[in-house]
Structure 1
């Protein structure tokens, strides 16, 4: 009896819809329709934060351009790109995160961790789809230990790492469709 039940299942299973199933694997790096969107423009970002290295806005602008050139087929143009980016670095703050006690009662407590936070406000315009347009702040931070590193020694590395994270978030919010 079991043998005949198996035979019945072998005939029925394909009829239950397996013939219509489609399994697809792949990675879609974005939702860019390259037939419609061919270029992008990045205006110079401004530093409205009142802090940071002197070349910070230039570093951010160039890093954003390079990221989109590396990760899309879009052509960078000086003006009127199909996708347009502009904005400003609106916050650059260094704040203590954890106090460390000296333990001797004579020496004041000090910060055990410091946090650098950067906020970049981005205006994004998609000329082919106005519904995608947005003005959005992107924030990221990095902590460091002031007991082992001075801020001046590590500032450029922290800024670069924060910009990498912010640019990835911008990419995800604008064209990656995650």
Structure 2
């Protein structure tokens, strides 16, 4: 019985490998559905026009989107005209109560929300079907004072926003 299992497991492993590799479709978690002929991308500076301003948000968001594209695609980043172009503005940076303490008017939990309006242009798509202009919004909840947590909260939200934008542009999610 033991000798039979020695031959059965390697044979089963080989069959499973052929099944998964045999269909001819390759899937990956990076690159999404970036067209093969797309080589360059330009990310313009995202100006912060939100009524409430966090000084470094525009720079941090712009660099976060560039980093996301650099880490998850094969595209070369260029200044000026490119095959794919991202531009936009930060339209919202809001702090609002998310939960109120019992028997008081104070917030037990607050919510920081960042909203970004993005215009994506795929200059290789003659139909324009892959182009979009839309707003993306993400939030994080926190307790206590914002000042001690603001940098970490904005970094987390930027990470979520850039993931949403990247997926919308390249992964068709």
Q: Scaled by the length of structure 2, what TM-score is found? A: 0.81
Structure 1 consecutive aligned stretches of length 4 or more whose deviation exceeds 6 Å: none
Between the aligned partners of 2:123 and 2:26, the Cα distance in structure 1 is 31
- Counterpart secondary structure, 1:151: coil
Q: Which residue of 2 aligns with 1:156?
A: 151
Task: Indicate yes or no: 2:127 matched with 1:125.
Answer: no
For the residues of structure 2 that align with 1:38 and 1:51, how far apart are their CA atoms? 37
- Aligned counterpart in structure 2 of residue 116 of structure 1, from 105, 109, 112: 112
Give structure 1 stretches of 5+ with no counterpart: 1-20, 103-107
Question: Is the radius of gyration larger for structure 1 or structure 2?
Answer: 1
Q: 1:144 aligns with which of 142, 145, 149?
A: 142
1:176 Cα deviation from its structure 2 partner = 1.4
Tell me, yes or no, if structure 1 residue 98 matches structure 2 residue 99. yes
Change (3 A) 1:151 1:33: same
In structure 2, list runs of 5 or more residues that go unmatched: 1-21
TM-score where L is the length of structure 1: 0.78
Please tell me the root mean square deviation across aligned C-alpha atoms, in Å.
Answer: 1.7
